[in-house]
Amino acid sequence: MKEAFEIPIAEAGPFTLEKRGIDYIPKSERWASPSSLFWMWGGAIFNVEILVYGAVLMSFGLSFFQSVVVILLGNLSYILLGVASLQGPEAGTTTFIINRASFGSKGSRLLALFNWLTQVGFETEGIAIVVIAGMALLSKVGVGSSTTVKIILLVAAGGIQLILPAFGHQAILKTLKMLFIPFFILFLIFAALSIGKVNLHSVAHGANWQTLTEGLAFILSASGLGWTENGNDYSRYLPRDASKGKTVLFVTLGTYVPSVLLMILGAAAATFAGSASGSIPGIVSKLTPWFIWPYLIVAILQIFAINSLDLYSSGVTLQALGLKLERWKATLLDTVICTSLAAYAIFSSSFNTLLSEFILYIIVWVAPWTAIYLVDWLMRKRQYSATDLQLIDRGIYYRGNGIFMPGVIAQIAGMVGAMLTIDVYPHYVSVFSNATNGADISVFVGLIVGGVVYYALAKRKIDEEVVAQLAATSLD
């Protein structure tokens, strides 16, 4: 039976503007498959930013072998991304419309705002890195990094970055699938050039357990946990009966494998690159001069690729916030904002401090939100009323005032727990971290507190909603 909100839209190819935003995706337009998510995520994660994360991990004072263990364990959080991609096929819409089930149609907007700020932060970082890489390329042909050059690069980067997200979901998946192979080839060349220079014993004794927890928190946040809020923005084009096991498997493999390979390579590069290992041009400068050209060109393409996911998600998140814009117009607005912020990043010396505080902010809100979102889904027996999710001022998820207080209270409790156990020295050191000489268990505390508090407060109400939903379905 066709629902009233299933508005048909003429079928489009991968390079026509996508008409869908946060509205329900009808069965006739569910063109994707679980394997398509493998290529999309793989094409995005094979990225120089991920390589730098491995190098940064070594700066914590870990030995190479400690770093490998932390990388292998921390990237398991991509399983959470796989599980957080299972709601889209059922609900047929984006993450922060599905989020109305656990926070209410109005309460969900606060979390959507958090997510929008997060996506814009990553977009800004990406545009800034593209400009920096572009200036490095131009310097090789004698062009200086003047103000005019920076402005031209910023405008060009913003314009190019807009294209793929504006076309939409299918264009992003098709393009990232095409980029997977050349990105993998670059990885193989980089690995071949690095292998003879690696010094596995560059750090003699390694780190203590407190530093290991800090490194693990960093990798957890930089990998799957930092992407959970994006998963259903792409899986919503899968049919409702798509295999859940294959969806989790393909998403996990498409993210875990390239992330682990790149982070380990970045950690290995840090053993010989030294202080240069924290920057994209810095690592390659320690290899061979001829490689910097292809490296930087592909690096720019990679940043555009991963930024496309952020821009697409931030566009539909703006719609979930209540902004009455078509999706492509919301994407255009985001592009203008993140390009303007990137200009500040390029011309400001304090951007590194702001970036560190931004990473703190991500850890604090994403961990409890992920637990609440998944616990809610499980308590609902993995089912939603797609019709009610699309309603703003009525329906089963409105609950009289549009705010579901168990979700709000659990989110606040989880964020407080994370703040009490996080270590982002020198910007912020929690009470727990100060008492334990730098240990950081904020990710685990945020997940556990958020999930447990939500379960305790919401169980009775959600059980009632499940019964009401089943009754309504049986009447149909």
The DSSP code sequence of 49-116 is HHHHHHHHHHTTT--HHHHHHHHHHHGGGHHHHHHTTSHHHHH-S-HHHHTHHHH-TTTHHHHHHHHH
Q: Which residues neighbour 76 within 8 Å (Cβ) at sequence distance 6 or greater?
A: 224, 256
Where do we find the tokens 């994707």? 32
The phi, psi pair for 86, rounded to 5°, reads: -90, -15
Residue 354: its pLDDT value, please? 60
Identify any residues that bridge with 424 across adjacent strands, giving them in sequence order: 428
Identify any residues that bridge with 1 across adjacent strands, giving them in sequence order: none
pLDDT digit string, tens, across residues 228-277? 999 999 999 999 999 999 999 999 999 999 999 999 998 888 888 765 55
Between helix 351-379 and helix 405-419 the angle, nearest 10°, is: 140
Tell me the CB-side half-sphere exposure of residue 58, using CA atoms within 13 A.
30
Report the CATH architecture of 27-353: Orthogonal Bundle (1.10)
Q: Tell me the C-alpha to C-alpha distance, in Å, between residue 102 and each of 22, 110, 180.
A: 17, 12, 36
pLDDT lower than 70: segments of the chain = 1-16, 203-205, 274-287, 348-360, 472-476
- How far is the C-alpha of 459 from the C-alpha of 101, rounded, in Å? 13
Query: What's the angle, vertex CA 323, arms to CA 317 and CA 326, rounded to 5?
Result: 80
Residue 57: its pLDDT value, please? 87
Strands (E), 204-251: none
pLDDT digit string, tens, across residues 105-124? 999 999 999 999 888 888 88
- Residue 327: both structure tokens together: 């999706």
CB 70 within 8 Å of CB 219: yes
The phi, psi pair for 267, rounded to 5°, reads: -65, -40
Helix (H/G/I), strand (E/B), else coil: 428: strand
Please give the DSSP secondary-structure letter assigned to residue 228.
G
- How far is the C-alpha of 353 from the C-alpha of 66, rounded, in Å? 27
Would you give the distance in Å from CA 301 to the centre of its chain? 18
- How far is the C-alpha of 368 from the C-alpha of 449, rounded, in Å? 7
Find out whether the peptide bond into 426 is cis, omega within 30 degrees of 0: yes
Where do we find the tokens 């932390």? 70
